[in-house]
Structure 1
Amino acid sequence: MANNRLEFALARQTRTGEAPLLAIPRDVRGRTRMSNGVGNQSMRTSLMIAIAAAVSAMAPGFAFGAEKTPTAFVGSFVKIVSIECESGDATDAETGEAVVVLCMDALYQATYRVERVLEGKLVTDSEVTFNVADHYGFPKFAERKRALIFLDEHDGNYYHIKYQWVPAFRTSEGDFAQCGCEAEDENEDLQKAPESSPDCRLLSFSPAVTRDLTHSSQYVIDKLRTDLDYKIRGDRAECVRGILVEDVYKRLRPELMENINAR
């Protein structure tokens, strides 16, 4: 990549906290001189190489520094706003070089009310605002009233660790938990029924976590009747088992640590 003089980075995310983008020197818009003697290469090939490398660099948890710990909290939705990112010509703020900016993700800034802090410096009952980048569009966690969310911090700004979140619900005892007990296993035998997490417990959610079965097929209803996580009550299936967020985080933390400290 150095031979092509192609530079790519989480430019706005690392410098201004806005979001990830791809910045490519303007000279690749014409012909790119190769220092290895191969000759000229078209802009299209150069951009393809740069985009592929940048996508790799922007994997979930792209590291800002070494030996960091995640910020983990249960929060309730306050607001989310879209951040405009326009592809086109720009000037690199550090080098002054003319670059072509290619936006790779949909960009947002989300604000949440902190309800439970599992790790980090956030304060319960305060609000936290953080930056979100989602390659697929609107972030799924923002469609929920409440979620267990994982953040990375850099220079006092928070960034959502890409795609890392868990739906969270309040229990009658005042705790927070996910609904359901199936343990995630990447090597799971698809011919076997999913196993329950050892942290699984019977729970009463408040308000109740339910699924409307009014328009469900008999196949779905019969399947839920055999699902230990749900009880059928009339035309609804009510969640009766789950895992406390503290236990969920304990299981996910090693992967999150690896992500934010990746090089």
Structure 2
Amino acid sequence: MKSFLTCILLITSFLAIGQTKTISGIAMDTTYGRMKVRIVKNDTLEKFSKALSSSIEQADTIPLNILKQKIEVYKSILDDKAYHTLTDSTGKFSIEANINDSLTFSSFNHNPAKYSVKDLLKMSNIYIRLKPIPCEPYVRCKDTIPKNTYAFVAEKIEVKRLNRNYCGIMVMFNGEYSAKYRIVKNIYGNFKSDTINFTAYDHYGKPAFSRHRYVLLFVSQYCNKLIHNQYQYFEVYPTADGRWATPGDPYRYDSYVKEKSIKAQPVMFENKLLFSIKKARKNYLSNYEKPYYQIIHGEARPLLGTYAEDLFKIKKQGALKRLNLK
């Protein structure tokens, strides 16, 4: 039986090799060759990119050598022309693919187009023309002081990137993200709805606050649009007395504040909150130092924390000081 299965696998492998075809044609976007079109087999780059992004989001807890290995694997995929290719200046391309594969054609500010190899083989001449993403006018907000500012503890519902094409702007300096959260507790500004939708901008990728389920966020209203105050947040956890707090040094994100008037205090968190640090990198371990944590068998148990109301005071002393919040 084992030898029979081996034969079947070998036959299948030979059939797959026999079904490999060379797909050649022309792919263009609306720049007519000024920008090249990328052709990717089976969404390989996107799949590896998402996996790598997920690892980078957890970079603090992933051993550095493992993270480097994943980055090297992604680089090798980028260098391997078996998975993808680019058109030349005239739009011509050629790539080897199995008849069961799919090819995705993409270019900056254009809608991608995905075809099965079987469908491409049915075309007498392969000519792919990508359609541009309709651009929308970029209206620069002139507000320097927000109409309203809100601070609240919230639970993540969704955070996703907005791939908008703004007319006349080739590249945005910051990535633009749409965020939807359920408000658990208002701290400042008393936002009226149970849920809030706002826009976040981040130069480094997906906003760091999106890694956590519950966060203390700071959102301001500029030009009738709710905007997250860039990079400002605290991850928070429920406490045994029904409040919200963050463990550790309350000034870990605001070390530059001169007058550190807020002090961490003993806090009992719900569900015996523990953080696994067995695989954490050395520089990450500094976040779990005494007297804020007790380390037992590779786990950090928070001893001291700061309640959300005091965390807001820290931001008023630091990053949000320019807003002159009362």
Q: Scaled by the length of structure 1, what TM-score is found? A: 0.59
- Please give the alpha-carbon distance, in whole angstroms, between the structure 2 residues aligned to 1:66 and 1:161: 12
* 2:161 counterpart (72, 82, 89): 82
Distance 1:213 1:122, change over 3 A: same
The aligned residue for residue 248 of structure 1 is 311
Q: Is the 8 A contact 2:175 2:205 kept in 1?
A: yes
CA contact (8 A) 1:68 1:257 kept: no
The residue number in structure 2 matching 1:71 is: 150
Scaled by the length of structure 2, the TM-score of the pair is: 0.48
Gap change, CA 1:152 and 1:63, over 3 Å in 2 = farther
**Which residue of 1 is the match for residue 269 of structure 2?**
205
Q: Does 1:232 align with 2:302?
A: no
Match of 2:183 in 1: 114
Higher helix fraction (1 or 2) = 2
> What's the % identity of the aligned pairs?
20
Q: How many residues are matched? A: 183
Separation in 1, partners of 2:181, 2:191 = 11
Could you list the per-position Cα deviations for residues 239-263 of structure 1 after superposition, in whole angstroms to 9, with x for gaps in the alignment? 11111110111121244544457xx
1:197–1:210 distance in 2 versus 1, CA, 3 Å? farther
Call closer, same or farther: CA 1:148–1:108 in 2, change over 3 Å: same
Structure 1: which 5+ runs fail to align? 1-57, 91-98, 189-194
SS at match of 2:151: strand
1:238–1:155 distance in 2 versus 1, CA, 3 Å: same
Could you tell me which runs of 5 or more consecutive residues in structure 2 were left unpaired when the two chains were aligned.
1-139
- Of the three residues 203, 210, 213, the one matched with 1:135 is 203
Q: Give 2:93's aligned residue.
A: none
Q: Could you tell me which residue of structure 1 aligns to residue 133 of structure 2?
A: none
1:235 is displaced (CA, Å) by 3.3
**Partner residue of 1:157?**
225
**Take 1:210 and 1:248, find their aligned partners in 2: how far apart are those partners?**
21
Q: CA deviation at 1:86?
A: 3.1
Alpha carbons 2:257, 2:317 under 8 Å: kept: no
| Larger Rg computed on CA atoms | 2
* 2:171 alignment partner in structure 1: 102
Separation in structure 1 between the aligned mates of residue 153 and residue 287 of structure 2, nearest angstrom: 30
| Partner Cα distance (2:157, 2:266) in 1 | 30
1:181-226 residue CA offsets vs partner (Å, 9 max, x unmatched): 35444278xxxxxx986432101111333221333589988995x6
| 1:152/1:260 contact within 8 Å kept | no
Aligned-partner Cα distance in 2 for 1:112–1:68: 21
Tell me: CA distance 1:217–1:147, structure 2 relative to 1, closer, same or farther (3 Å): closer
Q: Within 2, Cα distance between the matches of 1:253 and 1:73?
A: 14
Q: Return closer, same or farther for 1:260/1:240 CA change in 2, 3 Å cut-off.
A: same
